Amino acid sequence: MPRVRRGFKARRRRKDILKLARGYRGGRGRLFRSATEAVDRALKFAYRDRKARKRDFRKLWIIRINAAVRPFGLSYSRFMYLLKRANIAMDRKVLADLAISDPRGFAQVVELVQNKAA
């Protein structure tokens, strides 16, 4: 049986893995077997956390909106209910950004919502 020489394909595969592992400490950035394990794990976490990032930001926006409406005597859930009833279509990202960057503008939105509810 003839000897198989893997040639450039194997070299390219190893180079690609080591390129992804650049910056890893110790053997994980230099040794192919350790680098493969580290890169596989890193890619798994990256995939998982791309999904989690969306949840994390939504949580953050909710926390910020809740903190911003409390001084007006509202809770987050009550505010969102009144917002929907007033037919104001603003998403959580915009509301949270408004609460931080323009508190007066946010106060006007809250007043508008409270007046429409009354």
List the domain boundaries for the chain.
7-117
Q: What is the CA radius of gyration of the chain?
A: 26
The CATH number that domain 7-117 falls under is: 1.10.1900.20
Q: What is the b/e burial string over 58-79, where b = at least 16 CB atoms within 10 angstroms of the residue's CB?
A: eeebbebbbebbeeeebebeeb
Average pLDDT over residues 102-115: 95
The secondary structure of residue 31, as a DSSP letter, is: -
Whether 118 has a pLDDT exceeding 90, the answer reads no
pTM score, whole prediction: 0.81
The secondary structure of residue 73, as a DSSP letter, is: T
Tokens 């080591």 label which residue?
Answer: 18
pLDDT per residue as tens digits for the range 52-65: 999 999 999 999 99
Residues 32-41: contacts with CB within 8 Å, 24+ apart? none
The secondary structure of residue 28, as a DSSP letter, is: G
pLDDT per residue as tens digits for the range 7-45: 899 999 999 999 999 999 999 999 999 999 999 999 999
> For residue 99, which of 78, 84, 79 has the smallest C-alpha distance?
79
Q: Pick the residue with more confidence: 3 or 96? A: 96
pLDDT band at 4 (very low <50, low <70, confident <90, very high): confident
